[in-house]
Amino acid sequence: MLLALGAAMAEHLATWPLGGLVDRLHPRRKELSPLKGNRRAFWQATWRHAIFGLVLGELERRLNSGAAEEEPAAAVPASSNGHGTVEAVAELA
């Protein structure tokens, strides 16, 4: 869960400076509040990314909880082409 939180926060901090581009290039920029230097928008996006990371981490934990508990399949004599080994064929004859 902490890995997902860290990934969400890293994404937020890495892309936040692109808000300056939005301020300049967005087609309706005159109708929007500027993002650059807007602390309120930064902290609002921060807690939203944190919640997203926590929810994503919990979802991943729940979906993959049984994956580590499964035992590997029994070793079946097979070659890379999936048809078995020559020794197994010789035993059948």
User: pLDDT per residue over 30-69, tens digit each?
Assistant: 888 888 888 999 999 999 999 999 999 999 999 988 765 6
- The domain total for the chain is 1
Answer yes or no: is 12 within a domain.
yes
pLDDT at 81 over 90: no
Tokens of 16: 């936040």
Answer yes or no: is 86 within a domain.
no
Average pLDDT over residues 1-14: 92
Query: What percentage of the chain's residues is helix, strand, coil (to nearest 5)?
Result: 65, 0, 35
Answer yes or no: is 73 within a domain.
no
Answer yes or no: is 14 within a domain.
yes
pLDDT at 72: 61
pLDDT at 59: 94
Answer yes or no: is 38 within a domain.
yes
Answer yes or no: is 36 within a domain.
yes
Range of the domain at 9: 2-63
pLDDT at 93: 54
Question: Would you mind telling me the total number of residues written for the chain in this entry?
Answer: 93
Instruction: Indicate the pTM of the whole model.
Output: 0.62
d(Cα 30, Cα 24) in Å, to the nearest integer? 9
